[in-house]
A and B are shown apart, each in its own frame.
Chain A
Amino acid sequence: MSEESKIIKEFTSKEYEHGWSVNLEADEAPIGINDDIIKFISKKKEEPRWLLEWRLEAFQIFKKMEEPDWANLNYPKIDFQKIKYYSAPKQKKSPKSLNDVDPELIKTFNRLGISLNEQKKLTGVAVDAVIDSVSVATTFKDKLLELGIIFCSFSEAVKEHPKLVKKYLGTVIPRNDNYFSALNSAVFTDGSFCYIPKGIRCPMELSTYFRINAANTGQFERTLIIAEDSSYVSYLEGCTAPMRDENQLHAAVVEIFAAKNAEVKYSTVQNWYPGDENGKGGIYNFVTKRGICFGNNSKISWTQVETGSAVTWKYPSCILKGDNSVGEFYSVAVTNNYQQADTGSKMIHIGKNSKSKIISKGISAGFSQNSYRGQVKIMKRAKNSRNFSQCDSLLLGNKCGAHTFPYIDVENKSSLVEHEATTSKIGEDQIFYCLQRGIDEENAIALIVNGYAKEVLKQLPMEFSVEAQKLLSLTLEGSVG
């Protein structure tokens, strides 16, 4: 390698593009968690009594639970009393329209490439922008409302659409589902809410952009998507955080409800700060995502590109309750340096003729550990159901690890489950082939890796697909050679 390209490589390999933070004056809760903190959060959000009680009960549940240790993850025990559970950028008044949003916040999101200006922005995407514990702006709200589509922050939904929230909150993921869902239920702050009425195809992509800004603060977002009969929505989620030496906790819950003939497509590009190349700092990402295909012929499709976080614990799942319902999970998880990921999916077949597909592509580099963990359960009454799972692992270098933990449970004879798994090393001969054609090493790896992940990447909406490809290359920069 020439001196010049060496220098470029060193320069680029350290870069986490979104590692900066801004000084925003914040309204914060004291550090730690107890009933008073939960009351504080609930009061800040001006919540109804039932929701406060719901939160307090969740906290009781949380206190009785143990932090799970079955994942293939190694990290120091989290001290939940050292985390700040609420931090909101101070705004003069609560913004009634986009014009009232603090320009400082608009600038922050502009810097991330997220425009909150409806005129300038491509009209194909509506954005809900969440910073730390609050949503600061949601675009195209009014235009969507003309179709009856509700797209707003979770806090606003609690105020404006309490019946819907009460009806669905915690139905797909009960508070006691797991340790982190209990925690989230107690202290969740903001997130997005979408409601697509019967027969409506949402004409634009809905997206939420999450940003952690404040130090020592956890982010606990809550998202709820409800798709009524024969409706369709494609939803995107992106996220970034500043570079900090301390680990920060992100524990989100996303619930999706699909009524009969409804289809929900949920895409994530997860780019939380992964820590530095020695494994210092980075986000602990403990997320529970689950959708229920409640009605017949409904469909939920998860696509995730996981490149960030120091630790990722995440299993977007589908409960296929309706007959002929379809669940899909497409995942690319990349780990480099000392990152650890334990991710996969659960497909629970209850309805007849239900179908599910799991395509998981793990890519490990550096000293990282990358595990696929997946469960396919076909219940007795789910006659003639099908699952196809494919879990591929690609290793770059020989100090990283790839692991696969499939759990399969089929309770009837007419159903069929297929599981395929491969592990391969990135081929030196493939890299040489690219080099021989004049392509440099970084681009060669990017090409090969993107080719390997193509089946998943092509599921993403266009704008995201390009960003995701860049991210994959960036994450792996400096990992070979």
Chain B
Amino acid sequence: MLSIKKLKVSIENNLILKGLNLEIKNGEVHAIMGPNGSGKSTLASVIAGNDNYKIESGSISFFGKNINNFSPDERAMMGIFLAFQYPVEIPGVSTINFIKTALNRIREFNKKKPLDAVGFLNTMKKKMNLVKIDRDLLSRSINEGFSGGEKKRNEIFQMAMLEPKLSILDETDSGLDIDALKIVSNGVNKLRTKDNSTIVVTHYQRLLDYIIPDYVHVLIDGKIVKSGNKDLALELENKGYDWL
């Protein structure tokens, strides 16, 4: 599904990713861990197409297509979803209206008819149940005045609505209480199919008890320095990053 080769990325002339390789196949869950500032969010942003970052060399392919020059909305329509580490607030735009606009554009891209009001509401109800999000929250402006946990939950709700092929969860667990963590992980697991894949960026092994990864990668200073299975996460929890 996703193939990243020798990727070098800079922002404002600082090289952040320094030759990164990553292969993700259909249905896999990959966890990415690493110290603060090592480039995890940068990687997530670059996959999503944020043009504040400059690709110096290397390639990102999605289903065999080089997407280096694709705009963020094209990538989103192709099925790439990013649950932001810091979801932004958009005053005056209701969450429901926002998701509806997004969903219908993605459907159009996939040559599906737009959902009518009833169809949309039904889908919404199902997905709301999945991540246990409040209807009231969705009537409010996107993320405006949401608590940290509510914002994260809203990200996962949007993911559930848009049914992406590749989801990138950037520290979705930070700021969630234990119950919310379980609910959100449960939601993510329920949305797993043999076709869609997930990248989980996290600092805590705890999340990986719920969302069990096929692979764990350690990102340090813009490179993946070690990969392994879920035991690697436990090892990191005990030993930190210094031994690498």
Enumerate chain B residues within 8 angstroms of A440, measured Cβ to Cβ.
Answer: 73, 105
Determine if B74 is an interface residue (Cβ-Cβ < 8 Å).
Answer: yes
Query: Which of A149-157, A201-209, A247-255, A426-434 is the contact stretch?
Result: A426-434
Residue of B71, B73, B93, B162 contacting most chain A CB atoms (<10 Å): B73
> Could you tell me the distance between the alpha carbons of A436 and B102 in the complex, rounded to whole angstroms?
9
Contact with B along A108-129 (1 / 0, CB 8 A): 0000000000000000000000
Q: Check: B205 CB closer than 8 A to any chain A CB.
A: no
Q: How far is the CB of B87 from chain A (nearest CB, A)?
A: 7
Interface SS, B side: helix
In angstroms, Cα B92 to Cα A452, docked, is 6
**Pairwise interchain contact B91-A439, C-beta atoms closer than 8 A:** no
Q: Cβ of B172 < 8 Å from any Cβ of A?
A: no
Min CB distance B244 to A, Å, is 31
Q: Is A480 an interface residue (CB 8 A)?
A: no
Q: Check A48 for interface membership: any CB of B closer than 8 A.
A: no
Does B50 reach chain A (CB closer than 8 Å)?
A: yes
A349 to B72: give the CA distance in the assembly, Å. 52
Given the contacts A2-B71, A447-B98, A451-B141, A436 and B93 also touching, CB distance less than 8 Å: no
Q: Is B117 among interface residues, defined by CB-CB distance under 8 A?
A: no
Interface residues of A in 426-469 (CB under 8 A from B): 427-430, 432-441, 443, 447-448, 450-455
B158 touches A437 (CB 8 A): yes
Partner of B73, one of A429, A439, A450, A452: A439
Contact partner of B77 among A1, A438, A441, A443, CB < 8 A? A438
With A435-B73, A440-B73 as given contacts, are A451 and B90 in contact (CB-CB < 8 Å)? yes
Asked whether A452 lies within 8 Å of B71 as measured between CB atoms, the reply is no
Residues of B within 8 A of A450 (CB): 92-93
**Hey, which chain A residues are within 8 Å of B101, CB to CB?**
439, 443, 447
CA distance A450 to B88 in the complex (A): 17
Q: How far is the CA of A455 from the CA of B77 in the complex (A)?
A: 31
Q: Which residues of A contact B49 (CB under 8 A)?
A: 435-436
Residues of A within 8 A of B109 (CB): 438
Determine whether the beta carbon of B87 is less than 8 Å from that of A433.
yes
CB distance from A261 to the nearest CB of B (A): 33
Tell whether, in the assembled complex, residue B93 and residue A451 are in contact, meaning their CB atoms are under 8 Å apart.
yes
- Given A436-B82, A437-B76, A439-B105, also A451-B71 (CB < 8 A): no
Residues of B in contact with A, size category: 20 to 34
How far is the CB of B97 from the nearest CB of chain A, in Å?
8
Contacts of A428 in B (CB 8 A): 52
Q: For B108, give the chain A residue with the smallest CB separation.
A: A438
A438 touches B90 (CB 8 A): no
Residues B90 and A439 in contact, CB atoms below 8 Å apart: no
Chain A 333-362 interface residues, beta-carbon cutoff 8 Å to B:
none
Write the B96-128 contact mask toward A (1 if CB under 8 angstroms, else 0).
Answer: 011101110110010000000000000000000
Q: Does B204 contact A (CB under 8 A)?
A: no
CA distance A160 to B74 in the complex (A): 63
Interface string of B49-93 (1 = CB under 8 A from A): 110100000000000000000011110110001101001101111
Q: Report the nearest B residue to A441, measured CB to CB.
A: B73
B93 touches A439 (CB 8 A): no
Q: Which residues of B contact A430 (CB under 8 A)?
A: 88, 90
Q: Which of B74, B91, B92 has the most CB of A within 10 A?
A: B92
Residue of B nearest to A429 (CB): B88
Residues of B close to A443: CB separation below 8 A: 101, 105
Q: Could you say which of A2, A440, A448, A450 has the most chain B C-beta atoms within 10 Å of its C-beta?
A: A440
Query: Is B98 a contact of A436 with CB atoms below 8 Å?
Result: no
Distance in angstroms from B46 CB to nearest chain A CB is 12
B213 to chain A: closest CB distance in Å?
23
CA A460 to CA B193, docked complex, whole Å: 47
- In the complex, A432→B91 CA distance in Å? 15
1/0 per residue B200-225: CB within 8 Å of A? 00000000000000000000000000
Which residue of chain A has its CB nearest to the CB of B50? A432
B48 within 8 A of A: yes
CB <8 Å contact, B48 and A436:
yes
User: Which residues on the B side are within 8 Å of A1 (C-beta)?
Assistant: 71
Evaluate contact between A448 and B90: CB separation under 8 angstroms.
yes
| Closest A residue to B78 using CB positions | A438
- For A436, what are the chain B residues with a Cβ–Cβ distance below 8 Å? 48-49, 72-73, 76, 81-82, 84
Could you say which residues of chain A place their CB within 8 Å of the CB of B158? Answer: 437
Q: How far is the CA of A441 from the CA of B98 in the complex (A)?
A: 14
Contact between A433 and B74, CB atoms less than 8 A apart: no
Cβ-defined contact, B76 with A435, below 8 A: yes
Residue on B nearest A437 in the bound complex, by CB: B102
User: Which chain A residue shows the least CB distance to B72?
Assistant: A435
B105 to chain A, nearest CB (A): 5
Chain A residues positioned under 8 Å from B73 (CB to CB): 435-436, 438-441
Chain B positions within 8 Å of A454 at CB level: 91-92
A438–B102 touching, CB < 8 Å: yes
Which of A5, A429, A437, A451 is the one whose CB lies under 8 Å from B92?
A451
Interface string of A200-243 (1 = CB under 8 A from B): 00000000000000000000000000000000000000000000
**A441, B81: Cα distance in complex, Å:** 17
B88 in contact with A427 (CB, 8 Å): yes
User: In the complex the two chains form, is B102's CB within 8 Å of A433's CB?
Assistant: no
Smallest CB-CB separation from A454: which chain B residue?
B92
A429 to B101, alpha carbons, bound, how many Å?
A: 18
Q: Which residues of the partner chain A approach B72 to less than 8 Å between Cβ atoms?
A: 432, 435-436
Partner of A447, one of B88, B93, B106: B93
Most interface-central of A433, A437, A440, A455 (chain B CB within 10 A): A437
Contacts of B52 in A (CB 8 A): 428
Partner of A451, one of B74, B82, B91, B99: B91
How far is A440 from B93 in the complex, measured between Cα atoms in Å?
A: 16
A401-431 contact mask (Cβ, 8 Å, vs B): 1 or 0: 0000000000000000000000000011110
Chain B residues packing against A (C-beta within 8 Å): 48-50, 52, 71-74, 76-77, 81-82, 84, 87-88, 90-93, 97-99, 101-103, 105-106, 109, 141, 158, 162
| Chain A residues proximal to chain B, CB less than 8 Å | 1-2, 5, 427-430, 432-441, 443, 447-448, 450-455
In addition to A432-B72, A437-B99, A439-B105, 7 A-B residue pairs with Cβ atoms within 8 Å of each other are A1-B71, A2-B74, A434-B98, A438-B76, A447-B93, A451-B92, A451-B93
Complex A-B: 6 CB contacts under 8 Å? A427-B88, A433-B88, A438-B102, A439-B73, A439-B102, A441-B71
Closest 4 CB pairs of A and B: A451-B92, A454-B92, A451-B93, A438-B76
